[in-house]
Structures are given as structure tokens and as C-alpha cells.
Amino acid sequence: MRRIILVAVLALTAALAAAAPAFAKSGPSPSPNPIPHSTVNCTHGVYSGYCGTQTDLESPPMSIVSGGSAQQNRFVYAKPNSTLSSLTDFFWFGYRGGPAAIAEFAPNGVTSNYCIAQTSDLSGLKLRRCNGSLFQQWTAVIVAGGYEWQNGATGNIIQSNGEGAQLRGVQPPTAALPTQTWNFVG
């Protein structure tokens, strides 16, 4: 029984390792001359290049952060960039090698098994146990200056609503606003 579990764990690890480079090549690339906005353990750990945050184009720029430790239904907020807070640390990786990404909260570069989810149309973003549902899948839509992150279940995009406010899913506009345009920074 232990051998079966060990083989399953090794197979899953190999699958994630194989999928990560494919997402990096086909998925969103970091913004030009990125300044790190996540902890060193995240940006220089084993998942370097996939661990970081999304930062928008508003002034001052806001980053996606967890409202606290990993737990079910924890709100996801916008906060100014920080290299000192592990609340900005997320693994952004391609889901099953496809175009959609999953964002798993990873304080200090350590997986938590909690992913960013939009639980219903036009709702706020929350951490939920990672299960790969469409509510946890985000597709990068190229716009001027970066990407809109569009939810697989609702079709809404992520919008910052100012410092300390919960991120929300909104209908995609004709032209992306700075609060809806994101770049990966790790």
C-alpha cells in the first residue's frame, strides 16, 4: 500500500514539474524589469518563476494578497506591493497543461492546498480548498499593459477595488481598466 501511495505522489510531482515549464512558455510572462513583490522563499524557492503575485496597473500598484493564514473562505484582497509579507505568495501554474491557471496560496513558498476561487457570478474572491473546479481556473486574456484574469465558471475578470478591499469578479469591459490589468511579479 505504501509503495502505491509513494508511486502516486512521485507521479503527481513529475506531472506538476512537467506542466510548469509548459505554462511558463505559453502562459503570461512577467512584466518587463520586474521588481519582486513576494518573499524571497517564494521567489527563489523550488518553484522560482511560478511563485509570486499578480500586480495591477493602478497608482499605486496593488497586489493580490490573502487576508490571512490559509483557511476555507478567507477573503482575497488588494494591498500595495511588499517583499516582506508572505500573504502575497501564490503559485501560478497551468491547470493540467491547458490554458487555464490555478493560483494556490503559498506563504513563504510552501503549498497550502487553498486556491483563489470566485464562488458565484460577480462575487468576491476567496480561498477555497484546491480541487481544480472551473471556479478556481483563471485564463489570462491579453490586454494593453498585461492580462485580465477571467474565471472559468463565471466569465468574470478580477478587479481591484482599492487598498484593503476584497477583490471581485466583474463583467469584462470593452477596454480593461488599470484595476483589471495584471502582471505576474515574482
Q: Where are the domains of the chain?
A: 2-185
What confidence score (pLDDT) does residue 115 get?
A: 98
What confidence score (pLDDT) does residue 82 get?
A: 65
What confidence score (pLDDT) does residue 84 get?
A: 73
**Largest Cα–Cα separation, the chain:** 55
Distance CA 64, CA 52 (A): 10
The pLDDT averaged over each successive group of 10 residues in the chain (186 residues) is 38 37 38 58 86 92 92 94 82 92 95 96 96 97 96 97 95 95 91
What confidence score (pLDDT) does residue 131 get?
A: 97
Letter string b/e over residues 44-78, b meaning 16 or more CB atoms within 10 A of that residue's CB: ebebeebbbbbbbbbeebbbbbbbeebeeebebbb
What confidence score (pLDDT) does residue 12 get?
A: 37
Q: Give the contacts of 25 (CB within 8 A, at least 6 positions apart).
A: none
For domain 2-185, say whether CATH 2.80.10.50 is its number.
yes
Task: Confirm if 137 and 126 have CB atoms less than 8 A apart.
Answer: no
